[in-house]
């Protein structure tokens, strides 16, 4: 039964059927063909959406859309440029830091690229950077967003792997900072070797103070979010709602650049993006149910534990699997299909659930950089108006810091577990 299910799914993908439809269609055919109760189709699809953490998904999408609509990304970018100074490769370093800051409200790699990509690439190319290098660093820096809270992939992983969403979101803070540091080291090395341009800004205390004053309301959004999570006052759903309310407040009352028309457009974008995500969640639940009925998770667990009982070895094997899967499967679909299968076995082998969640999501975010399905590649190609093969050439060097970050997170559990244990006792 499971073999038929997987083959049907692969066939649908090969003929160009959208992933959500392929998951649902393959599951429906198998359920009908093998005489399983048809009412499962509606029951499982609806029940998969009946989970509180998933309410955070549309709210975080809306918060990011509102902040982008009011133009705060430009203020943050200008402030960081003034703070970083005029050393070689400064604008590339700014792009990385701004991605880290903006990830505190976006929760998704594609949201980061949509909000920041054009600004980042235009600033770098205007100062003499090669366009493919600018595109490469923009894509690589966007992987920080889905690791740093809030993170839509982490919330979805937590909902299917029965892990605390709050603890898992906090677990992503140190790995996200680690990725930022490794990317900045890479840029510093490249700047020294290839004599990258210096920034053209002339920082002064007065200019920094003026821009900081304008940027403070936007910078408080991620502080509010992370502070609420760490303090325990908010869960992921509550903090998402607070972030939306805060975005509306500063948009109408502080910056006064948000209009009712812009809010309506943000709501439309949120509805479209949320519908796509939740459609995949519901159809993947059917797919996972058929696999579970055929005892695939138990068989996969026995197979993994038969290969090794060393948690690090198992994580390395999982890394290889997920890096390959990330090349051909959309990240949320991969989480929904694979996490229920491998998570119980990895937990039984002694892998910390929080470490596993971060390793899982980071792998799939690296998959966004890899053809043929790497959505970040196509997103940047559209934003920068350049061919995809040039984007791929530009991003290749940045696999080094990303894979190094993945290795460290896999080898050192404390990178992921330190903050949750410190603040969630």
Query: If we measure between CA atoms, which residue out of 215, 192, 178 comes closest to residue 82?
Result: 215
Query: If we measure between CA atoms, which residue out of 237, 223, 226, 222 comes closest to residue 420?
Result: 226
Surface-to-core class of residue 312, CB atoms within 10 Å of its CB (0-12 exposed, 13-18 middle, 19+ buried): middle
Helices (H), 129-200: 131-142, 152-161, 165-171, 173-194
pLDDT by residue (tens digit) across 220-256? 888 888 888 887 777 778 888 888 898 899 889 888 8
Please provide the DSSP assignment of 269-324 as one string.
HHHHHHHHHHHHHHHHHHHHHHHHHTTHHHHHHHHHHHH-S-HHHHHHHHHHHHHH
Q: Determine the pLDDT at residue 186.
A: 94
pLDDT by residue (tens digit) across 341-397? 888 888 888 899 999 999 999 998 898 888 766 777 877 888 788 888 888 899 999
Q: Determine the pLDDT at residue 353.
A: 94
Q: Determine the pLDDT at residue 183.
A: 95
Q: Determine the pLDDT at residue 14.
A: 82
Regions in the chain scoring below 70 on pLDDT: 104-112, 114-115, 297-298, 301, 372-373, 424-425
Q: Determine the pLDDT at residue 157.
A: 92
Q: Determine the pLDDT at residue 106.
A: 60
Contact 290, 340 (CB under 8 A): no
């Amino acid at each position: 039964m499971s073999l038929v299910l997987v083959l049907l799914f692969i066939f649908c993908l090969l003929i160009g059927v959208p992933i959500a439809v392929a998951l649902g269609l393959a599951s429906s055919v198998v359920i009908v063909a093998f005489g399983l109760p048809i009412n499962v189709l509606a029951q499982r699809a609806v029940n998969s959406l009946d989970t509180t953490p998933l309410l955070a998904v549309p709210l975080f999408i809306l918060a990011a859309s509102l902040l982008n609509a009011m133009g705060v990304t430009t203020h943050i970018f200008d402030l960081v440029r003034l703070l970083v100074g005029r050393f070689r490769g400064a604008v590339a370093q700014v792009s990385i830091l701004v991605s880290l800051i903006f990830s505190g409200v976006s929760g998704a790699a594609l949201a980061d690229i949509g909000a920041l990509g054009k600004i980042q690439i235009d600033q770098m190319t205007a100062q003499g950077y090669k366009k493919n290098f600018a595109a490469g660093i923009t894509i690589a820096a966007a992987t920080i967003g889905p690791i740093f809270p809030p993170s839509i992939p982490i919330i979805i992983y937590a909902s299917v792997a029965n892990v605390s969403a709050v603890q898992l979101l906090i677990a992503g803070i140190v790995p996200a900072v680690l990725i930022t540091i490794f990317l900045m080291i890479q840029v510093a090395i490249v700047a020294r070797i290839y004599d990258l341009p210096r920034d053209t800004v002339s920082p002064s205390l007065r200019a920094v103070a003026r821009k900081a004053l304008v940027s403070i309301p936007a910078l408080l959004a991620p502080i509010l979010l992370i502070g609420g999570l760490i303090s325990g006052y908010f869960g992921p759903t509550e903090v998402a709602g607070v972030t939306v309310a805060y975005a509306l407040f500063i948009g109408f009352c502080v910056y006064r650049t948000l209009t009712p028309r812009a809010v309506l457009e943000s709501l439309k974008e949120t509805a479209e993006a949320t519908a796509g995500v939740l459609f995949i969640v519901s159809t993947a639940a059917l797919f996972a149910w058929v696999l579970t009925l055929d005892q695939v998770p138990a068989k996969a667990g026995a197979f993994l534990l038969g290969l090794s009982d060393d948690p690090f070895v198992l994580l390395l094997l999982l890394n290889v699997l997920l890096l390959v899967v990330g090349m051909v499967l959309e990240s949320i679909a991969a989480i929904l299909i694979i996490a229920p299968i491998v998570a119980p076995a990895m937990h039984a082998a002694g892998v910390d659930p929080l470490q596993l969640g971060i390793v899982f999501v980071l792998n799939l975010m690296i998959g966004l950089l890899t053809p043929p399905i790497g959505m970040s590649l196509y997103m940047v190609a559209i934003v920068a108006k350049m061919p995809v093969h040039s984007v791929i050439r530009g991003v290749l060097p940045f696999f080094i810091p990303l894979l190094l970050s993945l290795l460290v997170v896999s080898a050192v559990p404390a990178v992921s577990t330190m903050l949750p244990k410190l603040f969630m006792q």
